[in-house]
Structures are given as structure tokens and as C-alpha cells.
Amino acid sequence: MNDVQCEILGASIENSESADRLRIAMLPGDGVGPEVLHEVRKILIAVGERFGLSFDVRTYPCGGKFYLETGKEWPDVAFEDCRDWADAMLLGAVGHPGARLPNGDLAGAGVIFGLRFGLDLYANVRPCKLFEGVKHKIHDNYTNVWSSDKVDFVIIRENTEGAYAPIRGQLRRGGESELAVDNRVITRKGSTRVIDYAYRIAQVRSGAPLDGKKRLTCVDKSNVMAGCQLFRSIFDEVGSRYPEIERDYVYIDAFTQYMVRTPEQYDVAVTTNMLGDIATDLAAVLQGGMGIAASGNIGDRHGMFEGVHGSAPNIAGQDKANPVASVMSCQMMLEWLGNRKSNPNCMKAALAVERGVRQILAQGQYVTGDMGGNSRCSETGDALAEAVRSVSIGDQT
């Protein structure tokens, strides 16, 4: 535990009998990761004090820089604590210049894959929602704003198999790489559970902005790939149990066009691992960029939440990062904890965070450089925390 920082955030257990203590593992990582999670700490303090929540936070150094310093990607106790102690995990970002494992892999990637595979976090959930006042990046250098009600969908990506399963290798002859092989594995179990999860998400949403229909879109390449043919057939099998959800089908190459051209037709989409990785990064452009895009990695017992952006070493330490993606990932965490633990205070906190973010972005004053503004990361975090403390959530507070 020598490498681990421990602290209590939010309501004081000693002073509040109603306080709910939640165990959070923070993994700041590299680059801007520590900066954006520092702003998330402000959010946890704000919602904790407002809604009587107490957070027992353990912070674990990890990533490429930690690897260069120690020869490890994270402390020995980190995975076991995430598995056995934490209620949820928050990840900053990983990736440090020059930090590579002996086999050439990115140092720090073992943290992400260690959690995804080790804790069986099979559903990667990436909301794509355009908030009022946020300028998209499709054209005209931030001068165009779509109506915010046209972009509101979720992509569910299978997270533990596909092309990212560790089934690969290289053939080397005479010290040179001669051949590299990446195999893609699609299983009935893996497909069934993530597709079922996507149908359940569609059940609780309000439907596509275009027509209000609850719709699940299967995104694949089943015209040429056997794994996608299996994935689509299971999509129909599982869909028979959800007759109220409209089924939709699209090939990945067409989806990348339709998603940008008419995002309002989509409600929830489900796809395989690598296809989802590519599509969700494109989707982030529709909501204002990677600095806003949040994600959750969900399993039956564990949840890890992270901003979609990378470690951005070119701006690390300059107070320029956009904290919104990490703050909205925290919002997803609070909502997930609220549902998992039947905790109404967590649900109120999640609502306050989303409405606080909406309020700040609509005002347009605290906008970081990636969104065309000049606000500092810390200034935006302060404004978000203040909004979370005061924003109205109706009769739920």
C-alpha cells in the first residue's frame, strides 16, 4: 500500500448518520489523466456534501510513466483492490512518450486491458449526446451548432473479445518481423450478453430523437465476416425477447456515414469490439469532441469509468485539458452505483452532475481550448463543482 493514497471525500461519516460510504479506486495514469481526475475529486466533494454521500477513495499511480520509474504498470495491490475492495473505478488516461514494454506494446495498456478482461467488463457504454450551446466540429471551425435534440444515442461495444482478445503474434526471422497475425474471436456467450445488455438499455431510454421509437441498431460487417454473421443472428435471437424494441441493421462502413449525416435516427447501437472502438471515436465529434465523450466499462459485478480521450502528453501539466469527459464519466459511475445499490442519493447526485454540466456548457463561459474557448481545466472544474452544488433537480432534492 506504500504507493496508494487514501482519503475520504464528501460527507463526514462522523457527522452524518445518513452518509453512504462508497469505495472508489482512482487510477489517474499519464499525461492529463491526473489533472482531469483532480477535477473529478471536486465533483465528488460537491455531490457528497450536498447529498450525504461519503467516498472512500484510494488512488493508485499507474501507466507508462510509472512503468519507466518502477518496471510495473501499476502497484501489485491495484488489481486485487479493484476486484475485491472497490465499488467502482475511475481511470484518467494511459500513455507516456517512450514508454513501451519489451514486446513493443504501450506501457499502461495493461491497466485498461487488465481491468476489462480481468474483471469481465464486457459492455463498453459510450453515450453520444450534444449539449445545448456546444459547437460541433463537422465543418466551419466551431461556427455551426446543431439543435441539441438531434444527437442523443448510445453505442454499446463488446469489450472482452473480438479483435482485441490476446490471440495474436509475430513471426521473426533473422531479427526481423516477417509476419503478424491478429485473430478475431466472436463467441455466442460474449455476443449474447452484450446484445441483451443493449436491449435493456434501449428499454429504459426515450427512443430516437427522429421519431421517439425505441430502436436497437446492429452494426456489423456480416456481408463478409463470419463472426459478424454470428453476431447478427444472435442479435435476432435475443431481440425476439424484446418485441417492443425495433430492430435495425447497418454495415459499419455505412454506419459511419449515416451517423454523421442523420444522427437523430439512432437510439442505441450494439457492435463488436474493434468496430465499436472506431465508431465511438467518430461519434465523439458529433458531441463536441473527445474532451466531452464519457464511457463506462460494465460487467455483472464491476464498473470502470473513463473519459474517451487519451493522455494528451502535448498539453499535460499546462492546465489546458477538458475535464468534462471525466466528469460525465463520474456521472455515469454515480448512476450505475445508484442502480446497483438502490441508492437514491447516488441517483440524485448523477442528475445534479448532468444538469450542472449542461448549465455550464450552455452558458459558454467555461470552455476549454479543445472546444474553441480559453478556460483553464481547473477553472472549468471549479465552475462545474459550483453548478453541481446549486443546480435544481426539481422535487428530487
**Could you report the per-residue pLDDT of 245-279, keeping only the tens digit for each?**
999 999 999 999 999 989 999 999 999 999 999 99
Whether 261 and 133 share a structural domain: yes
Whether 149 and 268 share a structural domain: yes
Which amino acid, 91? L
Residue 160 sits in a domain whose CATH number is 3.40.718.10
Q: According to DSSP H, which parts of 57-166 are helical? A: 64-70, 78-84, 109-118
Give the cell for residue 305. Answer: 469509468
Total domain count for the chain?
A: 2
Task: Please tell me the least confidently modeled range out of 100-109, 150-159, 233-242.
Answer: 100-109
Please state, in angstroms and as integers, the Cα–Cα distance from residue 45 to each residue in 28, 303, 381, following that order.
17, 20, 12
Give the cell for residue 6. Answer: 487514501
> How much is the pLDDT for 284?
94
Domain containing 113: what range? 1-121+303-397
Whether 315 and 247 share a structural domain: no
Short-list 156, 93, 157, 87, CA closest to 119: 87
Q: How many Å apart are CA 102 and CA 100, to the nearest integer?
A: 7
Short-list 310, 324, 234, CA closest to 272: 234
Q: How many Å apart are CA 388 and CA 228, to the nearest integer?
A: 43
In the block, cell 467488463 appears at: 121
Whether 317 and 390 share a structural domain: yes
Q: Where does a domain end: 298, 328, 343?
A: 298
Asked if residues 325 and 36 have their Cβ atoms less than 8 Å apart, the reply is yes
In the block, cell 446549486 appears at: 390
- In the chain, the percentage of residues whose pLDDT exceeds 90 is 81
Whether 362 and 321 share a structural domain: yes
Radius of gyration of the chain measured on its C-alpha atoms: 21
- Longest CA pairwise span in the chain (Å): 71
**Residues belonging to the chain:** 397
Which amino acid, 60? Y
Q: Where does a domain end: 266, 298, 330?
A: 298
Short-list 287, 213, 215, CA closest to 248: 215
Whether 268 and 374 share a structural domain: no
> How much is the pLDDT for 218?
98
Q: How many Å apart are CA 298 and CA 275, to the nearest integer?
A: 18
In the block, cell 520509474 appears at: 69
Q: Which sign does the torsion angle of CA 69, 325, 201, 258 carry?
A: negative
Whether 192 and 114 share a structural domain: no
Whether 376 and 314 share a structural domain: yes
Bridge partners (DSSP) of residue 387 are none
Mean of per-residue pLDDT scores for the chain: 92
Secondary structure (DSSP) of 198-267 = HHHHHHHS---TTT---EEEEEE-TTT-HHHHHHHHHHHHHHTT-TTSEEEEEEHHHHHHHHHH-GGG-S
Q: Where does a domain end: 282, 298, 314?
A: 298
> How much is the pLDDT for 146?
58
Which amino acid, 160? T
Whether 107 and 131 share a structural domain: no
> How much is the pLDDT for 16?
46
Whether 241 and 317 share a structural domain: no
Whether 267 and 199 share a structural domain: yes
**Three-class DSSP category at 60:** coil
pLDDT in tens, 11-46: 765 544 444 689 999 999 999 999 999 999 999 999
Residue 95 — pLDDT band, cuts 50, 70, 90? very high
Q: How many Å apart are CA 368 and CA 326, to the nearest integer?
A: 14
Whether 144 and 261 share a structural domain: yes
